[in-house]
Structure 1
């Protein structure tokens, strides 16, 4: 019984094991072969056997397929910028993510590459906090509390980092009925104070800002939020700092205002005032979410309990945001900011912008060194100094369509932080060009190569530097009896309409895998080409017109003859008719007469 089971297992799994051992042999062309890990392709013309083989098999077969004919593209990973992790200081910016830039060239379709990445929360990482406050009439007591709490908040935040700065802006709503009273002047957004390390100025600007009456309850908070996000220079966001916007309100925010022009998500500050409140509609939730992610913002919605549920529903759509419930007079702002900041910084999540056939996956065990590595981009329970080690795998599922997408820049960054890892990815989708010896047919490169022979003919709209770089890969020489043998050889004939010249040349590969272009003399026949083609064109047009007229006349003649024949036939039949004009042969006399008796009686009376 045991022998039967063993035999059955072998029968089932032996084909699978064999296919794994010899998976290279399943590839029937060079392109598919190079997508299989550890497989190479032999393009030797006279090679007999499976051209796709493992590297070990290729080494053993060097007598039949020398190394110069083995297609074995190797990926090159270069750590272009790999500055060590560092704390913040007055002279140097903090480094929380390493490496900072990596170049991956000659990456193969169907392959996976791994880059080790480290993230560490730096001590004294700079914080930019921007107060964005609702100054409608219901927020009068909240404004008074913020005036008193500026110094206390600064002291609290400086316990977290030495490099803390604050700014202040306010919003009400659009200055138009029904959003405001006709007699009350409102505004959509004002940037009262640029971000700075000046607590006295902050307190002064909050005190100077006035309360405004509005008509409807929802306010224009989201419109002001977009301006605070995108107006980088006007608000004063530092490049290396955690950017936090504290939006304080006791009401909902408008999402639709009835203005036909949508919000464009761009900065429109004129001095301290936002000038497009009556020109653009309110922004959408999707716009806010995208801008927060693109510009690495952290949003704290500090709202009252009666509207908190609405903002909590919105919060998951904006990565790096949180919701805190204020007391009625906003007296707990300091505690709220401290708690929400700790919540934001207690976790890290890496995000990327990979697309076009490229996918990034993240593997880490976070802070649990004893656990196994799992696939996740997020880690929590972080503190200052916590070190997270990731393995980021780059998977190339398919060759992107179009040569322009073969070079991609993928950016990896922690949510809400400006630190980033830039991956310059070059995908090699043409490991086995069709001009190689193992190819049978392919589209020609005649048009491209003619610019190599005559650089002066490169059109202005084309990039001459790139063309020159491609041309440098070819060895261009005069065609003569001593020229090397090319395989396969492509023959080109290029006509230049501007000069009426024709250039003949051939190109291909030598046995030593050298790209060669062999060119003959240029043949110029000024005027001949244009005159010849013009005469032929006029002759063809004249012939078509003449044939058309002849066919039209012939058709009219045949139609005339047919009509005369039919008319004569009609006249002849009319003359031979066998009935007279006063006797209808179809008429039959009545066979029965009927008299109305009532009619006769009426006459007798």
Structure 2
């Protein structure tokens, strides 16, 4: 391995670095300042992707480990991890070489580098140098159109082959020539297939022509000029039917049949594509029923003949461009014929501009093809003296910009990858400015791409890596299966990265299985009142229980406090747990009886029970210690709860309390009138319950105690009318009225029809026909009255 500095170019490198620094400074000034981003990330590498962020790897650090540098320092962090810098390491940097026997030429350096780039940071500069080798190998393949109109090219090549070799030798002494001819598919409508046309494709018996074919590889690349001339001498004219020709079939085979053609791994590969007419392309094959697309593979038989011509369609322009780039083929279009200017302009100039090599226009062949020597020489000079750097397999997250000083008298040009007018002694200096547009670490950190001269096999191989992990994330600083993480995780940068199924600051929480299995209930995870942590429910404030099933806010209150407040008790799972000396549903009852004793120390004067620090007097007694008489006001009120409980199963007593306190209460159909009989008094009581109903009961004071009789029925206010009943009644009434009207109408209709029918029958039985003359009837005898007959005075006169 070497460094990027060479003693023979220190001055130039300094100058290039100065220019590059100026350009980068201008770019930095022109680009708006990126606003500060929030620092975040659970691991060191994720954190440091954001500019201005740092990571604290102190083990006992109690704040956010990923934060702004100043904040981490202010919070007392000692061991701080900062962002790394880009690194460039040159792996292979062989010096330039002109080539020669058993020695490969070298035109570009360095050949392999390793770059470590930090995402979301400024770019890195990679210097690249190119110099034309004096004897760089040339492989020159002639792909000719063997039609009658191109016959002069074959004879001219045969005559000028030595001159072409001599011209090429002035540029490089390591060259080879190859030959192939391509016409068209032997299938209608491209070529006539009747026996006579196949035998005499040129249409004239006097003109000798080879039988039709698509492509024949005639001579692999060779340095033996005599073999090449012999192959030329075997080329005869042939013909097809339509005007357009199928040289794309031949060009595809020349590009993909590398072993058969003889392309060398490290050479300038040139194809002289000579024709005088436009080309068939993908889709034209359907005119002959060929629907199978071209597969871009080699299909030459042992004689060099293309075997898939009548099976596969022509290649598309896109396929030609793709294979030319993949195989570094420089295609030179040489157009002959009298109307070659039109053919070049319409069909080949635009295609040439997209092919590798930088020859952006087709060349014109004169009538006798004598300028083929100049075309070949000039084209090779242009290819040799021009370099265009391109990249392959560059990932989308990288931005690569190339600068060069070769066209600007030592000044770095603005973003150009082409250098022209090179000489054997001139070195083209490039700067590849590489920047990552990522703002976070990618899933794939490493990959390889290449920077290379278009049309050549030489490469600058770049092993690229996004630097995302901190050193403390890598061994030996990182500790796999660390005891600090209970053996269930990796200790790195002050934190534990737990194995699958475990979590927590020290990987002490078992996360295997699902939350539903550990903390699930019918009402959701932890009853919707907590979080499942370490496979246990961590309840929200106010909730408790193994799965937060207890609502500690649902207990009864006393004096506005749950369970009477901390002095009385506490709420546990919806029920009050009372302290000593307190009892009751809300811990509202004290168990101390001092307040229930009379002056003699007797509890409730033996006339009641001490409950919650107060005397609950027996029937007929009242007062703080039940010392007042039995007929004192309050007799009715004291028994209301028992009356509602026993009589109608309502009120504030539950069944247990009711059975315990109300044993002297019963229900009767009728109540007796109040009277005093045998020392027994009866108090008539009326109670209105919460529903507004009146309950009547009597309290009988007996010697053995009180007896309470309740009337079994109570009087309640009338309930509001039922809307459903009213609606159904109205609907039924309307329906009945309608039905009655319908029946009446039907009866009237039947009566009317009966009357009309009786009248009709009467008229049929007693007809009264009218007698009258027919106005159009004429009798057969006609009587005429003579006006002169029987006149007065001339009864029988005559003449």
Same fold (TM over 0.5): yes
SS at match of 2:362: strand
SS at match of 1:339: helix
Cα distance, 1:223 vs structure 2:
1.8
Once the two structures are overlaid, the 10-residue window that deviates more, 296-305 or 73-82, is: 73-82
Alignment of 1:102-121 (within 5 A): 102-105=113-116, 107-121=118-132
Cα shift readout 1:201-254 (whole Å, capped 9, x = no counterpart): 000011112211211121111221111111111111001110001111122111
Closer/same/farther in 2, CA of residues 490 and 206 from structure 1, 3 Å limit: closer
Cα distance, 1:273 vs structure 2:
1.2
Structure showing greater radius of gyration is 2
Distance 2:305 2:439 in 1: 49
Give the match for residue 283 of structure 1. Answer: 315
Cα distance, 1:427 vs structure 2:
1.9
Find out whether 1:380 has 2:420 as its counterpart: yes
Give the match for residue 78 of structure 2. Answer: 66
Give the match for residue 261 of structure 1. Answer: 292
Alignment of 1:423-462 (within 5 A): 423-428=462-467
SS at match of 1:177: coil
Once the two structures are overlaid, the 10-residue window that deviates more, 277-286 or 472-481, is: 472-481
Task: With a CA cutoff of 8 Å and minimum separation of 6, indicate the structure with the bigger relative contact order.
Answer: 1
Closer/same/farther in 2, CA of residues 478 and 228 from structure 1, 3 Å limit: same
8 Å contact from structure 2 (residues 57, 65) kept in 1: no
Distance 1:246 1:66 in 2: 70
Specify which structure has the higher proportion of helix: 1
8 Å contact from structure 1 (residues 25, 52) kept in 2: no
SS at match of 1:274: coil
Cα distance, 1:471 vs structure 2:
13
Cα shift readout 1:267-326 (whole Å, capped 9, x = no counterpart): 222221111111211112122112212211111111123422221132112232442111
Alignment of 1:126-525 (within 5 A): 126-182=137-193, 183-184=197-198, 185-255=211-281, 256-258=284-286, 259-271=290-302, 272-304=304-336, 305-306=340-341, 307-309=343-345, 310-320=347-357, 321=359, 322-353=361-392, 354-398=394-438, 403-404=443-444, 406-428=445-467, 475-476=480-481, 505-506=502-503
Distance 1:350 1:421 in 2: 10
Give the match for residue 52 of structure 1. Answer: 68
SS at match of 1:108: coil
SS at match of 2:162: helix
Cα distance, 1:141 vs structure 2:
2.1
Cα distance, 1:47 vs structure 2:
5.5
Give the match for residue 719 of structure 2. Answer: none
Cα distance, 1:64 vs structure 2:
2.8
Cα distance, 1:432 vs structure 2:
12
Question: Which TM-score applies when normalising by structure 2?
Answer: 0.53
Give the match for residue 763 of structure 2. Answer: none
Cα shift readout 1:530-577 (whole Å, capped 9, x = no counterpart): xxxxxxxxxxxxxxxxxxxxxxxxxxxxxxxxxxxxxxxx99x99998
Find out whether 1:95 has 2:98 as its counterpart: no
Distance 2:307 2:214 in 1: 8
RMSD: 4.5
Cα shift readout 1:440-461 (whole Å, capped 9, x = no counterpart): xxxxxxxxxxxxxxxxxxxxxx
Cα shift readout 1:26-68 (whole Å, capped 9, x = no counterpart): 5433579745667644465345999324xxx79x94993334x
SS at match of 1:475: coil
Distance 1:250 1:484 in 2: 74
SS at match of 2:264: coil
Distance 1:401 1:32 in 2: 7
Distance 1:414 1:142 in 2: 32
- Aligned pairs, how many? 480
Cα distance, 1:172 vs structure 2:
0.7
Cα distance, 1:428 vs structure 2:
3.9
8 Å contact from structure 2 (residues 90, 112) kept in 1: yes
8 Å contact from structure 1 (residues 127, 161) kept in 2: yes
SS at match of 2:321: helix
SS at match of 1:342: helix
Alignment of 1:508-587 (within 5 A): 578-579=743-744, 583-584=748-749
Cα distance, 1:335 vs structure 2:
1.2
Cα distance, 1:426 vs structure 2:
1.6
Distance 1:378 1:602 in 2: 127
Question: Which TM-score applies when normalising by structure 1?
Answer: 0.69
Distance 1:268 1:400 in 2: 48
SS at match of 1:151: helix
8 Å contact from structure 1 (residues 137, 214) kept in 2: no
Distance 2:405 2:307 in 1: 50
Q: Which runs of 5 or more structure 1 residues have no equivalent in the other structure?
A: 1-15, 437-468, 495-504, 510-516, 524-528, 530-569, 591-599
Cα distance, 1:346 vs structure 2:
2.4
SS at match of 2:260: helix
Q: Which runs of 5 or more structure 2 residues have no equivalent in the other structure?
A: 1-27, 199-210, 518-734, 757-769, 776-799
Closer/same/farther in 2, CA of residues 146 and 373 from structure 1, 3 Å limit: closer
Closer/same/farther in 2, CA of residues 72 and 429 from structure 1, 3 Å limit: closer
Give the match for residue 84 of structure 1. Answer: 95
